[in-house]
Structure 1
Amino acid sequence: MMTEKKNSLNIILIIGVVLIASNLRAPITSIGPIVGIIAADTGFSNALTGLLTTLSLLSFAAFSFFIPKISFRYGIEYTLMAGLAVLTIGIILRSVNSIFTLFFGTIILGLAIAIGNVLLPSLIKREFPNNIGFMTGLYSVSMSIWAAIASGLSVPLVLSFGLGWRAALMCWAIPSVIAFVFFLPQMSSSNPLSRRTYSPSGYLWRSKLAWQITLFMGLQSLGFYSIISWLPEILYNQGLETNFAGWLLSYMQIVSIPLTFIVPLIAGRLSNQRVIVLIIFLFFLIGYFGLLYGSTFFLTLWITLIGIGQGASISLALLFMGLRTTNTQQSSELSGMAQSIGYLIAAGGPVFFGFLHDLTQSWTTTILILIATTIIQLIVGLGAGGNKKISIEEKAKVETI
């Protein structure tokens, strides 16, 4: 009976993880295909419109560092539930007919998504220590699928269904409500980590390996959110229709899905992941050069390669947080560090590249910079992919409450 109950709880937990993951990108990727519509309606410049993505990333950066400490106090499950509630509020606020709530709601939903970003890797390490690769792939796939759906549906919701861009963005409160309701049963098993043995986290900031993982996370996020924000506009400038450009953005995320699941399964079985890091780099390099200099006849191929690189990169970055740590607390702290600094790196991309386009009226410089960042990503990724763990340099101690 106990085994059956545990198995059923695991199934419910797995579904809950998948549902939470479905909310970690969709509220943001739904913006990219309709930035032109938003800019036309509000009178925003490209740089200001890019701020709608950047504010979310700044929220990730600002709050990710503190989330592990909150979860130690209240438990991972309660913290995730609070995040889902705040996410729903943020999405609704963003959709209110006010410029202030548009930006304030974006900040709030960014805070909420940061909670899921940081805590899901540590929850997986705690509950599924022997299946980290599989579970990382599973929740990465959920993120990618719903990110693709959000990108593909944005323009049809606005134009075909006539909802307007504000109502279209509000639709993404529905998945967060569903995840909140479904995750409720997990409250009975919430166990604050602050009551367990833990080690001080300050040494992470002096760890070369921790910084390599952090930079790998940040650079792949920089590429992802910059492309998510501006690929439709890049394609539109090449002569594609807005609706088709939006679907190509969705397609790019769809083709990333198989690699998002497969890479953690393969990488988790390898002694090191450096070969995978190199392959990812080659996909990005060919895809970006093709997008910049290649024939538009092969446009789908270039976008396919970029999508594959993105899917493999994010799942590998998340997997590093489990493979390179020794316990749940360390995994949570590394996740907070990697996503705090990482998303701070990523945050400048959408606004900076929007500014560059306003300045140059071209996307060439943007793509060349993305190529340069993939070279740096290769270098730090080769370090992060080595067969080693972050050492615990200080003795563990117990915090009593």
Structure 2
Amino acid sequence: MTGRQVNAGGWILGLAMMLVAFNLRPALSTVGPLLGLIRETTGLSAAGAATLTTLPVLCLGLACALAAPVIRTMGPDRGVMAGMALIAAGLALRGIDTRPTLFLGTAVAATGIGFANVLLPALVKRDFAASSGPMTGLYTMTLCLGAAAGAGAAVPVEQALEGWPMALAVWAVPALIAAMAWFPYARRGAPARPPQPGELLRSALAWRVTAFMGLQSSLAYILFGWLPLLLQGRGLDPLHAGLYASLVTLCQAPGALVTATLAARARDQRAWIVGIPGITALAFLVVAFGAEAVRIPAAGILGFGVGGCFGLALTLIVLRAADAGTAAGLSAMAQGIGYVFAALGPLAFGLAHEATGGWGLAGILFAGFCVVAIIAGLPAGAARTVSATR
């Protein structure tokens, strides 16, 4: 897309991108508030619940790993369209009240999310190069709003529709709307210079961006899958636990927007890599183990921190890539490998809870992920770039 085309229709493209972004998390965030009910009605064990919360993260990683061939064969624009179609199909599958379709639909939807997750940073680099920081912040914020909507509406929608299968499947409707909005852009062709994965696999900088992406993703998916149950363990009923989870998720939106915008303007991002995961760890410990009087502000800070970590990770992908083709390749590597390892986060968190019958060890594990994210990601904050196109 040329600069003239961006000036004439960029706001329409941006709106379509926001609609896509809105649908990249409800498939994940709607499960946590309903997990207790799902376990009760299906007989799902704690290990099965841990698998259900881990499966989408694993599928995200595998889908991201397939993004490079997708870019070469159909281009990023058609790739986003394919992703939205998979999301809608997977969500619809979850409306069938069986355990196999619950797992299958989750895997299909997560695969579609993985395609779109990888391709959006490349489109920002290509179509909004002059305003990549604010645009990254905006679509990350919208993504977080979609997650918050899913978490907050899950229990009320389940009560209105009298069953968790339809409460999960109803999110196929906004996914279809986003697919229709993106359809005019699905006719654009592939990029002239596809990424060369081998170049990135030999880059220490690319691996550092990947490490930070994977570790911060573990934090988000632990909260998606387990925060409502943790809060129920502290005495909250499912509705109020879901509302707290929604507050955390809602506050991710300003965290993502502010962090991505300000970090992109900074000379380098090292201070942000230390500060944002640091406040995330402290806020989580207060929510999990602190006094009830400070739970609401701590939940808001926790959401701001987790959203900021995600916005920062995507900003690093855009800033450390020398061009749009490299941004696609770096996004595929960082999210593909990162999400596969991030899948271990909610699994380990759930197994720690099951092994101890409490949340102490699991809470220490969460804080540990934050510390390791700082250590692993700090070198990625230095102002330099990598190129993977020829």
Q: Per the shorter chain, which TM-score range?
A: over 0.9
Distance across 1 between alignment mates of 2:173 and 2:290? 40
* CA deviation after TM superposition for structure 1 residue 4, in Å: 8.0
The aligned amino acid for 2:222 is S
Residues 345 and 158 (structure 1), Cα distance of their counterparts in 2 relative to 1, 3 Å cut: same
Count matched residues: 389
Aligned to 1:258: 254
Larger Rg: 1 or 2?
1
What is the SS of the residue equivalent to 2:265?
coil
Asked if the contact 2:140–2:257 (Cα under 8 Å) also holds between the matched residues in 1, the reply is yes
Considering only aligned residues, what root-mean-square deviation do their CA atoms show, in Å?
1.7
What is the SS of the residue equivalent to 1:301?
helix
Are residue 151 (structure 1) and residue 151 (structure 2) matched? Answer: yes
* CA deviation after TM superposition for structure 1 residue 107, in Å: 0.9
Identity over aligned pairs, percent = 33
Distance across 2 between alignment mates of 1:77 and 1:42? 39
Residues 129 and 294 (structure 1), Cα distance of their counterparts in 2 relative to 1, 3 Å cut: same
What is the SS of the residue equivalent to 1:131?
helix
Aligned to 1:49: 49
Residues 40 and 198 (structure 1), Cα distance of their counterparts in 2 relative to 1, 3 Å cut: closer
Distance across 2 between alignment mates of 1:183 and 1:233? 36
Task: Report Cα offsets for 1:24-69 as digits up to 9, x if no partner.
Answer: 1111101111100000000111221232221111111112112122
Of 243, 265, 270, the residue aligned with 2:239 is 243
Q: How does 1:20-31 map to 2 (within 5 A)?
A: 20-31=20-31
Asked if the contact 1:19–1:179 (Cα under 8 Å) also holds between the matched residues in 2, the reply is yes
Structure 1: state its 5+ residue gaps: none
* CA deviation after TM superposition for structure 1 residue 98, in Å: 2.0
Residues 247 and 87 (structure 1), Cα distance of their counterparts in 2 relative to 1, 3 Å cut: same
Task: Report Cα offsets for 1:358-401 as digits up to 9, x if no partner.
Answer: 22110111110111111111112211111111255xxx54xxxx
Distance across 2 between alignment mates of 1:197 and 1:259? 33
Structure 2: state its 5+ residue gaps: none
Task: Report Cα offsets for 1:51-88 as digits up to 9, x if no partner.
Answer: 22211111111121121221222111111111111111
Distance across 2 between alignment mates of 1:97 and 1:285? 37
TM-score, length basis structure 1 = 0.93
Distance across 2 between alignment mates of 1:61 and 1:14? 26
Asked if the contact 2:68–2:195 (Cα under 8 Å) also holds between the matched residues in 1, the reply is no
Distance across 2 between alignment mates of 1:187 and 1:158? 34
Task: Report Cα offsets for 1:72-123 as digits up to 9, x if no partner.
Answer: 2211111111111111111111221222211111111111000110000001
The aligned amino acid for 2:351 is F
TM-score, length basis structure 2 = 0.96
Aligned to 2:181: 182
Asked if the contact 1:29–1:147 (Cα under 8 Å) also holds between the matched residues in 2, the reply is yes
Asked if the contact 2:230–2:359 (Cα under 8 Å) also holds between the matched residues in 1, the reply is yes
Residues 42 and 199 (structure 1), Cα distance of their counterparts in 2 relative to 1, 3 Å cut: closer
Aligned to 1:268: 264
Residues 4 and 329 (structure 1), Cα distance of their counterparts in 2 relative to 1, 3 Å cut: closer
Distance across 2 between alignment mates of 1:274 and 1:208? 16
